[in-house]
Copies of this chain bind each other. A is one copy, B any other.
Amino acid sequence: MKPPKAVKNLTDVFEKLPGIGPRTAARLVYYLVNAPASLSQELAKAAANLRSQIKLCSVCKNIDSTNPCEICQDASRNKSQLCVVEEAQDLAAVEASGAYYGLYHVLHGRIAPTQGLGPGDIYLAELLSRVKSGKFSEVILATNADTEGEATALYCAKLLKSARLKITRLAQGIPQGGDIEYADEITLRRALEGRVNY
């Protein structure tokens, strides 16, 4: 006996999501089968509304309910700082830190030649034109601290060099709660290189 078609259909969709294999997908679907019917209806509704209710901000390429996004419309933000991130969820993470109150630019990707992703595939031209407007005094490159993120940051730095403004990169080092003994060599080297007066 094969699983019922309705179960298989939902299992197939779940399996397309990142980090969800066949067993996890089946567990999620059977959970919904045994849960009150309202839960699968809630899921259906939220999934149906997701894409129709979000907009791409035409200024910073953030994802929000409005265009321009809440941040670009917020008069109280520091409009002289621009934080460049790879994805909208990175912007959400920086916001959650509570340590930044400037504007953002979401690249929607990274430069990854091995995956066929070049500078033309992300919002770099839009970044350059925003920076060239001359409104910013600092650009913070907050791309990931991995190979592609570093390459993207390096590319951004070169691209924006002619604009003659301060270009910074997030500090690398031991994460909060981190154990020196278990820190990898590169992290430890970066932490030493970037050591601060105490």
Contacts and interface: CB of A to CB of B under 8 A. Distances in A.
Interface in A81-126: 87-89, 91-92, 95, 108
B47 A51 contact: no
Contacts of A32: 17, 47, 50-51
Q: Is the interface of A mostly helix, strand, loop or mixed?
A: helix
Contacts of A26: 89, 92
Nearest to A77: B1
A65 B30 contact: no
Closest 3 pairs (CB-CB, A-B): A6-B53, A44-B48, A44-B47
Interface of A: 1, 3-7, 9-10, 12-14, 16-20, 24, 26-34, 37, 39-54, 63-65, 69-71, 74, 87-89, 91-92, 95, 108
